[in-house]
Each structure stands twice: as C-alpha cells, then as structure tokens.
Amino acid sequence: MTQSTKKPLSKKTIFLASLGLIIPLFLVGMAFLAVNGDAKNQEKYKQQREEIMQKVKEREARERAASEALAKAD
C-alpha cells in the first residue's frame, strides 16, 4: 500500500486563500453600501426637486397675480 503524506499548508498558501475569501466579501459589502447610499441620495434629491418645483409654482402664481393686478389697474 502506498502511504499518502499530507504536506502542511505553507503560510503563503493560507494567506492567499484568506485573501481569496476576504476580497470578494469586501467587494460585496462595498457594493451593498453603495447601493444603499445611492437609494438614500435619490430620495433626498427627489424631495429637493419637489420643494423647488413647489417654490417655482408659488413664484409663478405670485407673478401672475401681480400682472393681473397691474392689468386691472390700467
């Protein structure tokens, strides 16, 4: 019978195998954080756009009312 001898893993092999596991986990974690942060930013930008549109509509209504008042005064 042949005897199988197991070579102990070298530190370099263990280090590279660890990196092989850690790097993908890190990338997935960063991608999750990026998507999560982007969703929050999109919600904030949507709210800001709505506020700006509301201000524009209010200003246009004031300008329209002022121009109508001037037209009636003439």
- How does pLDDT run across 36-60, given as a tens digit for each residue? 999 999 999 999 999 999 999 999 9
Q: What are phi and psi of 4, to 5 degrees?
A: -95, 130
Q: For the residues of 14-33, what is the DSSP string, one character each?
A: HHHHHHHHHHHHHHHHHHHH
**Domain segments of the chain: what residues?**
28-73
Looking at residue 27, its pLDDT comes to: 97
Residue 1 has pLDDT above 70, yes or no: no
- Report the distance separating Cα 44 and Cα 37, nearest Å: 11
- The band of 71, judged by pLDDT with boundaries at 50, 70 and 90, is confident
Tell me the average pLDDT of the chain: 90
d(CA 13, CA 56): 64
Question: Which pTM was predicted?
Answer: 0.53
